Every structure is written in structure tokens, then in C-alpha cells.
Structure 1
Amino acid sequence: MIDFSKYQKIVRDGLWHNNQAFVALLGLCPLLAVSNSVINSLGLGLATTMALIFSNVIVSLIRNHVATEIRLPVFVLIIASNVTVIELLMNAFFHDLHKILGIFIPLIVTNCAIIGRAEAFASKNPVDRALMDGLFVGLGFTFALVMLGALREAIGTGAVLNRADLMFGEIAKNWTLPVFSDYDGFLLAILPPGAFIGLGLLIAVKNLIDARTKTKALGKTAPVQTDSLHKSPMHES
């Protein structure tokens, strides 16, 4: 059984503290382009996660056998090979979704988050840590995609999980969840400007949560410091 305690920093960084979309602001092209629905976002997010996992693992395995001068071209070839396999699988099993995502699936190869993790982390760490990093960085990116997709879809159409059958089959045809009743939709939300506005709002919410968490943490430690200052003279006497 995997001891997740030794990977806590990797998990926290990937999902929240160093989220590639909300903090590093990497991979914004696919993030903004396909996040007009939850299903589109989930499909591309999972494809990116698989690419991150396989690329990180392979880069970690060969990290001691690749010359420094050629490491980046080698990493790009590894990522491109993985993305090609993922694209073929999506075309075979999720053909309609593959057609909707279109060029943004092969463009995963150029996603700065993937090459960045290969260079900054996988090439310097053993396979188990590289795998965990790829998994949770991918899940963090998927989380950002899905949150943005849900926000834009809800405001733009008044419902979420439209066309869930694209990913989950015929059983999901009735999975659409209405958010607003008697709602005509707001076109701006599902247009490109809505992606920028939505991402800005989500980043603002994250920053607000981080600020409040930091304030609470400081508030808990402050009384301890104050007590110690009051007690110190008595201790000296």
C-alpha cells in the first residue's frame, strides 16, 4: 500500500498551491478554448492528465541516460508519442467528443505544463514521485478546467452536464442538471471573452481563500506568541 504521507507536498502543490492553471497560468490556450462545457473540459483534462502521467514516468526512467544538450527535444518526442496514442484512443472510443475537441487534443504536445513538469520535476526525481506529480498536476489542471467549464456552462445555458453522453454513453443522455429555471442564457459566458472573465473570477476566489487561510493560521499562532511574552518575565523572576 502506498504511503501517501511522503507525497503530501506533491499532492498539495499539484491540486492547489501550484495549480498549473490558477497559479502557474500554464496551458491557458486549451483551458480557455474548450472550457465552454463541463464535458468538453473533463475530456481534455483527463487526456492531459494521462499525457502528464506517462510523460513524467518515461522521462524519470530515462533521466540518467539522456545528455543534457538534447534533453528537451527528447522530452518533446516522448510527449508527442504519448499524446498521439491518447488521441487515437479518444478517436476510437469517444469519437464525437474527439471531433468537438479537435485540434486541441494534439496541441497537448505544446502544453507548457507538461514540458515544464518533465523538465523541472520528472527529470530530477524517481519514478514514484514523478508518477504522483503527473497525476496530481493533471488532476489540478482538470479541476481548473471543469470549474471554469461549469461556471461558463451554467451562466451561458442555465444548465450543466449538457451532452454528457459524449463521454458516458447513452445512459447519460438525461444527466443534464438545470441550474436556473426559465433562463434564456447569457451568450457572453460561452464566447471567448467569457473564458477570460471566468478564469479571472476563479483565480480571485482562490486568492481570497488562500488569504483567509493564511489569516486564520496567523490568528492561531498569535496568542501563543503573546502568552509566551507575558510569561517570560515571571519565568525570569
Structure 2
Amino acid sequence: MSKPPLLQNSLMLAPLIGATGSLVTALGLWLMFIVVISVFGLGMNALRSRLFPGAHLLASVLLAATLTSCAELGLQVWSLQWHQQAGIYTALIALQCVVLEQAGFFQRAWRDRLRLCGLFGALMVGLGLLRELMGNGTLGSHLPWLLAATQADWQGWVLTTDGGLRLATLAPGGFILLGLLVAAWQARQRAPSTH
């Protein structure tokens, strides 16, 4: 299997850093990504054989923009607070769909697609969890947003009463934490096994 394209990976970096300030935002964006990309893949598989090769890009842009816009409208109705927290990162899902289509992602085996979506989700949720723990000292803060509940007094599980390191919830803190996680991963991979 060849290496994935650089653009495909770099587009995933923006929501990975920007939308993982809390566990709820990361989990919600990943769920939205899975829904939109799944419906997009089904739609493009149905349309691909019926279109001229020159029309594939235009069709994928229109379909991705339509699906992402519908998902955003549904998200606003479901939970306006979560939608405001997710910001512009939900719109990047449309761009990601188009790039994945052009890279041939939807023609790959379903296991490869599932692996990439699962890895992206694990990174999103893991980074969101770590950043919320380190930055706010809470776990599951604003969880009712994903459940469309308006219970404003629930603050999640508070682990430290004085909060945490505010830098961890900001984008620079996300870059720093991701860099440390990548360095730890590379150090683990290079460590000689002592069997």
C-alpha cells in the first residue's frame, strides 16, 4: 500500500488541532465526519459510473458541500451551543470529502477506509480528552450538548477545582501536545526490544 497523499493528511490536521479543545467537540466533529463521509461515499459510488470523467470533480464538490451544509443545519437545530463550539471545522469536512474522492479513497477496500476513519477518530477523541483534562481539569464538560440537552448546570466530572493549564485548550497547546505525542510514538518505535 502506498503512502497517503500529503494534502489528505494535512487537511485532517486542521480539525485535529482546532476542534479538540474538549472531548465533546472532538467526539461530535468525528461523528459528523463519519456521517457525512459515509453518505458522500455512497452518493459518489452511485454517481461515478453515470458521469463523464471531467464532471467528477464538480459533482463531488456539489455533493460534499450539500451534505456538509445539511449536516451543519441539522447540527444547529440539534445543539446550537455545540455548533458554535465546533466553529469552521465542520465546513472542512466538505473539502476533506473532495480530497479523499480525488485521492481514490472511496475505491479502496472498506477495511482501509474503516482503518483511516477509526485512526482519525481515535486521534480526535484522544487529543480532545487529553486537552480537556490538562486544560480545564474536567472530563465530559458540556456533554449534554451532544445529547441536545439544555442542562446548563452540569459541568462534567471535575478532577481539579482550580482548573488546569489554559494553554492546552488553545491551538498552540494542541500543536505542542500533538508534537509531544508524535515524539513519544517515534521514540517508542525506535526503542530496541530487549527479548
**TM-score if structure 1 supplies the norm length?**
0.67
How far did residue 205 of structure 1 move?
3.5
Q: Deviations over 1:29-58 (max 9, x none)?
A: 222112110001111111111111111222
Residue 53 (structure 1) aligns with: 38
How far did residue 133 of structure 1 move?
5.1
Q: Does 1:178 align with 2:158?
A: yes
Maintained 8 Å contact 1:153/1:159: yes
* Change over 3 Å in CA distance of 1:67–1:38 after alignment to 2: same
Residue 116 (structure 1) aligns with: 99
Q: Alignment length, in residue pairs?
A: 192
Maintained 8 Å contact 1:161/1:176: yes
The CA distance in 1 between the partners of 2:156 and 2:58, in whole Å, is 44
**TM-score if structure 2 supplies the norm length?**
0.80
Maintained 8 Å contact 2:106/2:113: no
Overall identity of the aligned pairs, in %:
25
Instruction: State the one-letter code of the partner of 2:173.
Output: G
Maintained 8 Å contact 2:18/2:171: yes
Per the alignment, in what secondary structure is the counterpart of residue 24 of structure 1? helix
How far did residue 136 of structure 1 move?
4.3
Larger gyration radius, structure 1 or structure 2: 1
Of 123, 139, 155, which aligns to 2:134? Answer: 155
The CA distance in 1 between the partners of 2:185 and 2:13, in whole Å, is 17
Maintained 8 Å contact 1:45/1:139: no
5+ residue gaps, structure 2: none
* Change over 3 Å in CA distance of 1:178–1:186 after alignment to 2: same
Maintained 8 Å contact 2:33/2:93: yes
Q: CA RMSD in A?
A: 3.2
The CA distance in 2 between the partners of 1:63 and 1:191, in whole Å, is 41
5+ residue gaps, structure 1: 1-8, 10-16, 221-237
